[in-house]
Amino acid sequence: MKKAWMVLFALGIALPVGAQSVAPFRGNDPFVFCTQGYELTVAQMCWKPLPPFTGGAAWTYTWLCDPPNYYGRSWTDRDWLALSLYESVCPLAMTPGAWTGPGDGSQVPVQH
């Protein structure tokens, strides 16, 4: 957590405690960020969100990064920041709604 705040400070981004912002991920769209993760493909992520029925801000490793994969790529500050934001922002939604539009929500209004 401390590392994530240092990154935000270095970038000059001021987020108040409890801010409901997921910038700079997924076009600042919390629905897409909390349901699909912080990158466009799982192959780029060190972790991914679990379905909402698992409770809270549940997530799992993708096994592409070290840890837990000793031969995987190292976690970047971006990976840690995304996980920190996921754990602080996504539980604020009492019950996540379902996407009712076309596609999975990540293409509206533009791909993000």
Give the pLDDT of residue 112.
58
CB atoms within 10 A of CB 59: 19
User: Whole-prediction pTM value?
Assistant: 0.70
Give the pLDDT of residue 89.
87
Give the pLDDT of residue 10.
43
Give the pLDDT of residue 97.
66
Give the pLDDT of residue 107.
67
Could you list the pLDDT tens digit for every one of the 112 residues in the chain? 444 444 444 444 444 444 456 778 888 888 888 888 998 888 899 999 987 767 667 899 999 999 999 999 999 999 999 999 999 888 887 666 676 776 677 767 666 5
